[in-house]
Amino acid sequence: MALLRRLEKRILVHLPTIEAREDMLHKLLPSGKAASADLSYHEFADKLEGYSGSDIRLVCKEAAMKPLRRLMKEIESITQFDNINWSVQADPKNIPHPGPVTNDDL
């Protein structure tokens, strides 16, 4: 008994079912304007077979970051930071917004 108390406890958690994976995608990916209307949740849930819940969370996090990375790359390519007057407040109407999460992002 003393030996068992000192060993790490491990709990077996089975991999999520296709319904659970699809539900995770719906909950973890952005919704509304931040997501493409044609996201194939069921298709991606099927492709994620064998992934753990933690793996799916990381996939969704990376997919959600893709639009922001595209926007940053676009801003860096068209903006010359040397010519910006940093003391003037930016007009919120002119600030670009990242696009939606698409099937390609996943």
Structural domain for 46, as ranges: 11-68
Q: Measured between alpha carbons, how far is 93 from 30 in angstroms, rounded to an integer?
A: 22
- Report the predicted TM-score, pTM, of the whole model to 2 decimal places: 0.74
Contact of 71 with 64, CB cutoff 8 Å: no
Instruction: Count up the domains in the chain and report the number.
Output: 1
- Neighbour-count burial of 9, counting CB atoms closer than 10 A to its CB (0-12 exposed, 13-18 middle, 19+ buried): exposed
In a domain, 89, yes or no: no
Q: Using one digit for the tens of pLDDT, what is the confidence trace for 6-59?
A: 777 777 889 999 999 999 999 998 887 777 778 889 999 999 999 999 999 999
The answer as to whether 31 is a domain residue is yes
Contact in structure between 43 and 58 (CB atoms under 8 Å): no
For residue 3, tell me if it sits in a domain: no
Q: Is the pLDDT of residue 102 over 80?
A: yes
